[in-house]
Structure formats: structure tokens, C-alpha cells
A and B are shown apart, each in its own frame.
Chain A
Amino acid sequence: MKDYIEEVMQNATMAAAEYSQFTQEQTDKIVKSVFEAAFDKRIMLAKMAHQETNIGIWEHKVLKNVVASQLVYEDIKNLKTVGIINEDNESGIVEIAQPMGPILAIIPVTNPTSTVIFKILISLKSRNPVIICPSKKAINCCSETAQICYEAALKEGAPEGCIQWLTSVTREQTQELMSHKSLALILATGGSSLVKSAYSSGTPTIGVGAGNVPVFIEKTADIPFSVEQIFFSKTFDNGTICASEQAVVVEQEIAEEVIEEFKKNKAYFLNDEEIILLNKVAIDETSHLMSPDIVGRPAFEIAQKAGINAPIDVAILIAPIKSVGNEYPLSSEVLAPILAFYVVDNFEKAINMCINLNYHGGIGHSASIFSNDDEKIKYFAMHMNAGRICVNTPSSHGAVGGMFNKLSPSLTLGCGTGGKNITTDNVSAKHLINIQRISRRRPNERFLRFDIALYLDENMKADEINKIYNRNF
């Protein structure tokens, strides 16, 4: 097993060495070729992912593949990632992009083919070889995707070994790769234990955090529009996007109208007994985490599994609950068409409820608001700990970016330090280069003319020093 990992890493290291000599033009041709190949196979790969994982809806997985190929390509195609990428005469700083080296790309079961396409495109754009490490439940579709991308890359002269994929994944192999001395970076998209183990490997890691996205329908919101958008988002791929809405929060004043609108859209509001039944199948009692069995499954199937008599055409199961925490299991993240629903007295209480939801397993991820009051939107945003605050948009699509807003399209959503990540950005090619800065002499006149002996005088306090430092400036 050791030899296999060594061979993979040697291939990646050799590819990194060769790739470091490529020009921007050569690199861009490779990226274009990979985008086109992946895009052309978007339907086949989506069907394959659906068939293999039994998660989500294949038509929606096609759209995910489109985002990962077409929209990501559009976003990165003009980005400078080779050589001098920025030159500023005034500051005397010239920025040079260097590749990082071999990247290990961990792929989740919920968005397998799209995440493979995405991570390959951003890695190749930054001249880094990539090793695809798929979820055990998505090995075939990920391997097929990687193979298609690899052939397209080779066709344009990419280095041999620039894309590799692991077809038999053991925990030990993953650990060994993660801590390999020649590995430059881990792009860890997956569950919290996997992300934590990537961070613990000693290799720099761009990870993601878990979400628990509150959506606040504020009373100035266009209610039918808001509900329609939430439906579109929450039913997308049966709710498998980690930025999908998890809990709706509404003020009492508009609650009835919102409920009616949800019902019109084939939502099923659960009673207290049904909520208890759903708790049992949706959330593991011990770990308080969502059950993998219901991830990405349709609402009717989940209802049946729970013994709930919902209509056959039900689109979303809605659980009106009172509070947030482990004693209210459905206040936690569930990547399925299930929504918690909170009615509160007023705006402040709504914000407090959203804060509670946000901090209950979703710190740093995303939050959503429907409102036509700019002040309230800003107030909401200020009080969330979220990398993305989506406004009047479906949060699944909004947070991923590129469709409903100008965020960088990405399948790796940084969650900041709250989510134990280094960035709140939508991760993309720009995060996969080392930037060197040539800094030309541009003297700091105030510092150079200052009598530095004054710093050695204990009687000189900050305000006095500042006066002298800034005199005649």
C-alpha cells in the first residue's frame, strides 16, 4: 500500500515539476479543453452520479456539472495565474504567481462529479497537479469524471500525471496521502471529521465547515416570491447543497400568509406527533447529526420511512418547532427536503432565532434573508456569523455563486475561523497560487528621517513620538 501511495505522489511531483514550466497560454488551453470535455459529458456524469450514490435528482446534478464546468470556467478563464500577475509602479510591488504543487482533492458523496470537475479546473488553472480522492460511495462516477478531464488535458499537452484518482480508497491511504511530505495542499470538502483529519495532517488545508442556514422572511419581503425561491433552493437535488435553507424564520404578522404560500407549493406541515416520528429517521439520537439514509432523498420517501401520512406529491416536509438545540433535532442541519419553521413575535426575536440557528452547527457558513428593507438586511448580516449572506435569492444557488449573484462560482465554500477555516471566500483558482512580491525601494520618508534614538528614551510616549514622526508631513 505504501508503494502505491509513493507512486501516486511521485507521479504528482513529476507532473508538478513539468507543469511549473508552462506558460499562461499553454495553461489556459488545457483548462479550456478540460472544461469542454467535462461540459460535453455533463448529462452522462450526472446520471452516473445519481445511479451510484442514490442521492438527489439527476437533472439537478446536470446543473451542478454546468456550474462546475461552464460557470467556473467563465469565472477563471481570464485570471492570470502564471508569472507576473500584477505590477504597480507607485508601490513598487510586482506580484508573481507560482504554483503550489500537488493538491489532494477530497470529494463528497453529495456533489461528486461536479466537485471533481471544479477542483480539477481550479487546480490545472493554477498549474497544480491534482489527486482526486472520492467518497467511497462515489468512486466510479468520480473516476469517470477524472478520466475524461485527464484525457482532455493530455490532448493539449498537459504533463502526465497532472490528474490522478484513487479507485480503492482506504482510510489509511487517505491519511498517508494527507501527511505526505510532497503534498502541497488539501482541498477538503466533506464531513467535519474528515476536514479535521486533513487539518491535523500537517499539510496546509483549505477546508469547509458544516452549514445550518437560517432563512428569514422579513415582513417587507415579497412573500410569494420568497417562498417560491426557497422551494426552488430547498428541493434542488433534494436539498444536498450545504448552503440550502434549513430553517425558515417569520414574524407573527406575516406567518399565516407565509404558511398558506408554502402549502400552495406542496409543502406538508407536520404536527407534533409527526415531528417526533421525523426526528427519529432524520437525526441520529447520539451524535445529533443527520442520518445518511435520508440525505438527498425525496420528501415523500422520507415521510414514508418515518411513518408519516404525507401526500404523494409532497415537495418539502415542514416542522414548526419552538426553539433551537439538540432537544429540537430538526433545528440541526439536514441535507434533505426538510425545513424547520419558526414563528416569532417581532424583528429582534427573529434575528435572535437566526443567530441561534446559525450558531447551532453552522457558524461561518451561509445565511439568507428575504426583505425589501436595506437597513434590516444590513442589520441581519451584521449579526450573522456567515461567509455568505444571500439576499432575495435561493441560498443553495446563491451561496455557490455565479447564477444569482456575482460571487465566484465554487463547490468549496469557506466558512472562516468560525467554521475552522482560513477563509470565508468561495474558494477558486486564485487561492491555489503562491504569490511572490518583488518589492522595489520606496522609502518610508517619515521613518528614515526619524531619530531612532528617541525610541530608546523611556520617557517618550506614543503621542509625543507620533507628533515628531508626522511633523511637516
Chain B
Amino acid sequence: MNKYERNGKLLTCILSGKIDTLNTSVLENEINENMIEDITSVVIDMQEVDYISSSFLRIVIKIVKAVSKENFVIKNVNPSVMKVFKIANLTEIINIG
């Protein structure tokens, strides 16, 4: 179950489980609903995520384009997911902690 917390201009998305192709579209809708106009910074917490799809990676690229690299952080990434970001060549355009 994903959670979304809005704190002023900051949106924190706490994701969990397996983000595969099937549930990525649901996730995309959820994020879009929470990305209301005054949101300028986004944090994605991936503590509970152990698999990500290529379509999720595309969402991530969209978010970074929308809020810029400086205002976007992905945190609590486990090694399996970190490796996926590396293979996707995204660690240079996204702050991953």
C-alpha cells in the first residue's frame, strides 16, 4: 500500500512492494493526483520496494523533468533496486540516497 504525504510544497511518496508493469499505471495515477500545482519538491521513499519496472523508471524521469534534479530525491533504496537505477543510467540525473 503506497502512502503520500504532503507538507507544504513537498510531496513524499512512500512506496511498497513490487512495482511491476501492471501496477505502475495505478501508481502513476496516484502520483499525478498528489502532484498538485504547488508541489515543487518530491521525495520517493523506496524502503519497502524490491522490484521496479521500466515503466516506473519512465515515471521517475517525468518527475525529475517536472521538478528538476535539485528538488527530487529517491531514498532508502535497497541494493537490488539501486543496481536497476545504475543499469538504467539514471543515477547521474537523479539524487539517490
Contact = CB atoms under 8 A, between A and B. Distances in A.
Please say whether chains A and B are actual partners in one complex. yes
Interface of A: 11, 13-18, 20-21, 101, 157, 159-161, 182
Given A13-B89, A182-B89, A160 B84 contact: no
Nearest to A154: B21
Given A21-B80, A159-B21, A160-B21, A16 B87 contact: yes
Nearest to B84: A17
Interface in B47-62: 51-55, 57-58
A381 B18 CA distance: 55
B1 interface: no
Interface in B10-38: 20-21
Nearest to B83: A20
Given A157-B21, A159-B21, A160-B21, A17 B51 contact: no
Nearest to A16: B87
The winner among B54, B80, B84 for most chain A CB atoms within 10 A is B54
Contact of B87 (A13, A157, A160, A161): A13
Contacts, number: 42
Nearest to A15: B54
A18 B89 contact: no
B89 A21 contact: no
Contacts of A11: 54
Nearest to A99: B87
Given A21-B80, A159-B21, A101 B87 contact: yes
Kindly list the 9 A-B residue pairs having the minimum CB-CB distance in the complex, ordered from nearest. A17-B88, A14-B54, A18-B54, A17-B87, A17-B84, A14-B57, A159-B54, A18-B53, A15-B54
A16 B54 CA distance: 8
B55 to A, nearest CB: 6
Contacts of A161: 54
A11 B87 CA distance: 12
B29 to A, nearest CB: 18
Interface of B: 20-21, 51-55, 57-58, 80, 83-85, 87-89
Contacts of B58: 14
Contacts of B88: 13-14, 16-17
A178 B84 CA distance: 23
Contacts of B85: 17
B55 A160 contact: yes
Given A159-B21, A182-B89, A18 B83 contact: no
Nearest to B19: A18
A269 B45 CA distance: 77
Contacts of B52: 17-18, 21
Contacts of B51: 21
Nearest to A101: B87
Nearest to A18: B54
27 contacts: A13-B88, A14-B57, A14-B58, A14-B88, A15-B54, A16-B87, A17-B52, A17-B54, A17-B57, A17-B84, A17-B85, A17-B88, A18-B54, A20-B84, A21-B52, A21-B80, A21-B84, A101-B87, A157-B20, A157-B21, A159-B21, A159-B53, A159-B54, A160-B21, A160-B54, A160-B55, A182-B89
A254 B51 CA distance: 68
The winner among A11, A18, A182 for most chain B CB atoms within 10 A is A18
Nearest to B90: A17
A110 B53 CA distance: 37
Contact of A20 (B20, B55, B87, B89): B87
Contacts of B55: 160
Given A101-B87, A160-B21, 15 more contacts: A14-B58, A16-B88, A17-B54, A17-B84, A17-B85, A17-B88, A18-B57, A18-B84, A20-B83, A21-B52, A21-B80, A159-B54, A160-B55, A161-B54, A182-B89
Nearest to B18: A21
The winner among A14, A15, A157 for most chain B CB atoms within 10 A is A14
A13 B55 CA distance: 12
Nearest to A21: B51
A15 B52 CA distance: 11
A20 B89 CA distance: 13
A21 B56 CA distance: 14
A16 B85 CA distance: 10
B65 to A, nearest CB: 13
A21 B58 CA distance: 17
A11 B80 CA distance: 20
A134 B46 CA distance: 40
Nearest to B85: A17
A21 B87 CA distance: 11
Contacts of B80: 21
A14 B55 CA distance: 8
Contacts of A21: 51-52, 80, 84
Nearest to B58: A14
B69 to A, nearest CB: 17
Nearest to A182: B89
Contacts of A17: 52, 54, 57, 84-85, 87-88
